Amino acid sequence: MYDVNRVREDFPILARQIYGRPLVYLDNGATTQKPRQVVEAMVDEYYNVNANVHRGVHFLSQQATDLHEASRETVRHFINARSTAEILFTRGTTESINLLAFSFGEAMVKAGDEVVVSAMEHHSNIVPWQMMCERKGAQLRVIPMTDDGELQLEALDDLLTERTRIVCCTQVSNVLGTVNLVKEVVRIAHERGIPVLVDGAQSVPHMSVDVQDMDCDFFAFSGHKVYGPTGVGVLYGKEAWLDKLPPYQGGGEMIKNVSFEKTTYNELPYKFEAGTPDYVATHALAKALDYVSGLGMQAIEAHEQELTRYALEKLQGIEGMRIFGAAKQRDAVISFQVGNIHHLDMGTLLDRLGIAVRTGHHCAEPLMRRLGIEGTVRTSFGLYNTKAEVDALVDGIERVRRMF
Ligand code: 7TS
């Protein structure tokens, strides 16, 4: 049985008081809290192992390198990639997508070409593609969405042309919680030989991910959203694709030989990893993945699904409640507005009760425009949240509503 109270003991921050009240942390979509196992691994590495990786013959450097490369294997196993050559360490989802947009754009995109994104992307899966399109004279096209917040995949086939170079789609919406049928997106795109990037920032913390089963060509996620440290993330790419793409940044580590006349590049994955990596963070990310694997992704998913069902039911009972998104498959994210209470007022007043939620456009302005709103209040659950915390949220909203 999943013992949430036992799990909470691993997260010291959850014992904090905010304005004299117990912290109710419901902003996991933005970032998750860290278990002792992750923080202690970082402290231990800095205290006892620290040395730059890949370059040293000395003991500590080799030990740090071993930890760093073992972490790559942990990530490979976690998302079921074929090979560690396909696992690139980055600073996070945003850098992963910028890397891909730049390299892919350089190698594959010409004037008049098209890039397809969905209507519910985070800015980090829009803007890098837009920047690349501007550089290359290409066009951005958009997969439309129903009022319930589901992608209209029947429109995708018509959207794809012989000029389409790549399709970019989030697996889970950070605003609506919609779980997109990314396998279907991949199937439709592959029928025309078009590769697909899946943004896994909001899926990896909540469900088991298998990139081979999904058959996506690229997959990006952030460490800090899956109970790991900030400043580290992953770009997965099929080896056949990564082999075809040029490096993103130049510097140490990514080269084979350098002369002033010509530089040759290192093999995968190092070709895409210029400079000293955050090897302490990669090791700690592996500890975070071990941590969630230890609890079991299916157990986490079941716990969070139960919590989401409970919260949806409770929230719907509040007068004036408007919940955005009603997808058949949804994840542990709920965006809402109550009457005409501004989302910022709601967020600020909930904060005074110790309840941390996010407010605003959630870095998805085109989606806000599609919904005809400026922003929402958003609660997003993690593996340590409880029904009592949902009750505290509902009570808090009721108090704010009565004040207005
Ligand atoms: N993609 C999605 C779907 C996201 O939700 C986010 C961050 C990112 C990409 C970017 O991740 P980063 O780690 O590189 O910043 N989403 C949020 C959020 O919903 N609230 O704060 C950050």
**Which of residues 293, 314, 332 is at a domain's end?**
293
CATH number at residue 75: 3.40.640.10
Atom 15 of ligand 1: nearest residue by CA position: 94
Q: Stretch 260-275: mean pLDDT, rounded?
A: 96
> Do both 312 and 226 map to the same domain?
no
Ligand 1 centroid from CA 382, angstroms: 15
Protein residue closest via CA to atom 20 of ligand 1:
30
Whether 128 is covered by a domain: the verdict is yes
Instruction: Point out the residues that are catalytic.
Output: 363
Ligand 1 atom at minimum distance from 173 CA: 3
Percent of the chain whose pLDDT exceeds 90: 99
- What tens digit of pLDDT does each residue of 186-239 get? 999 999 999 999 999 999 999 999 999 999 999 999 999 999 999 999 999 999
Average pLDDT over the chain, rounded to whole? 97
**Alpha carbons 287 and 41: distance in angstroms, whole number:** 7
The ligand 1 atom at the shortest distance from the C-alpha of residue 124 is 9
In this prediction, residue 55 carries a pLDDT of 79
The reported pLDDT for the residue numbered 172 is 98
Q: Which atom of ligand 1 is nearest to the CA of 91?
A: 14
**Residue 319 Cα, ligand 1 centroid: separation in angstroms?**
31
**What pLDDT shows up at residue 301?**
98
Residues 225 and 84 both lie in one domain: yes
What's the whole-number mean pLDDT along residues 44-55? Answer: 95
For the purposes of burial, counting CB atoms within 10 Å of the CB of 372, is it exposed (0-12), middle (13-18) or buried (19 or more)?
A: exposed
For residue 250, the CA-to-ligand 1 centroid distance in Å is 26
**Per-residue confidence (pLDDT) for residue 213, from 0 to 100:** 98
* Domain boundary residue, one of 255, 271, 293: 293
Q: Are residues 102 and 56 in the same domain?
A: yes
* In a domain? residue 200: yes
The model's confidence at residue 370, banded by pLDDT at 50, 70 and 90, is: very high
Residues 339 and 276 in one domain: no
Residue nearest to atom 18 of ligand 1 (CA): 30
For range 51-62, the mean pLDDT:
93
Final residue belonging to a domain, choices 265, 293, 321: 293
Distance from residue 144's CA to the centre of ligand 1 (Å)? 21
Say yes or no to pLDDT of 264 above 90: yes
Give pLDDT, residue 270: 97
Instruction: List the residue whose alpha carbon is closest to atom 7 of ligand 1.
Output: 30
CATH number for the domain spanning 354: value is 3.90.1150.10
Cβ pair 21, 353 in contact under 8 A: yes
Task: Specify the pLDDT at position 307.
Answer: 98
> Is residue 192 domain-resident?
yes
208 and 341 in a common domain: no
For residue 237, tell me if it sits in a domain: yes
* 153 within domain boundaries: yes
Secondary structure of residue 110 in the 3-state scheme: coil
Indicate if 325 and 366 belong to the same structural domain. Answer: yes
Which tokens is 176 given?
A: 């609506």
355 and 223: one domain?
no
- Determine, yes or no, domain membership for 246: yes
Q: Are residues 21 and 50 in the same domain?
A: no
Mark whether 185 and 305 lie in a shared domain. Answer: no
**How many residues in the chain?**
404
Q: Choose the residue to mutate in 91, 178, 222, 358 for probing ligand 1, maximizing ligand atoms within 8 Å of C-beta.
A: 222
Per-residue pLDDT band at 141 (split at 50, 70, 90): very high
Q: Are residues 16 and 60 in the same domain?
A: no
How many domains does the chain fold into? Answer: 2
> Would you state the pLDDT for residue 1?
87
59/26 Cα distance (integer angstroms):
43
**What is the tens place of the pLDDT at every residue in 85-132?**
999 999 999 999 999 999 999 999 999 999 999 999 999 999 999 999
Neighbouring C-beta atoms of residue 92, cutoff 10 Å: 22
The reply to whether 289 and 302 lie within a common domain is: no
Q: Are 100 and 165 within one domain?
A: yes
**Pairwise CA distance, residues 248 & 275, whole Å:** 12
Sequence-distant (6+) residues with CB within 8 A of 308 are 177, 330, 331, 332, 334, 381
Tokens of 140: 């951005």
Whole-prediction pTM: 0.98
Residue nearest to atom 21 of ligand 1 (CA): 30
Structural domain range at position 220: 39-293
Q: How far is the CA of 380 from the centre of ligand 1 (A)?
A: 12
Atom of ligand 1 nearest to the CA of 27: 20
Residue 34 lies in a domain: no
Give the atom of ligand 1 at the shortest distance from the alpha carbon of 174: 5
For residue 56, what pLDDT is reported?
83
Mean pLDDT across 358-376: 97
Residues lining ligand 1, CB < 6 A? 29-30, 92-94, 122, 124-125, 170, 174, 199, 201-202, 222, 358, 362-363
Residue 32 lies in a domain: no
Q: What is the DSSP string of 192-257?
A: TT--EEEE-TTTTTTS---HHHHT-SEEEEESGGGTS-TT-EEEEE-HHHHHHSPPSS-SSSSEEE
Interval 383-392: pLDDT, tens: 999 999 999 9
**261 CA from centroid of ligand 1 (Å):** 41
Indicate the top mutation candidate among 363, 367, 379 to test ligand 1's pocket, ranked by most ligand atoms within 8 A of CB: 363
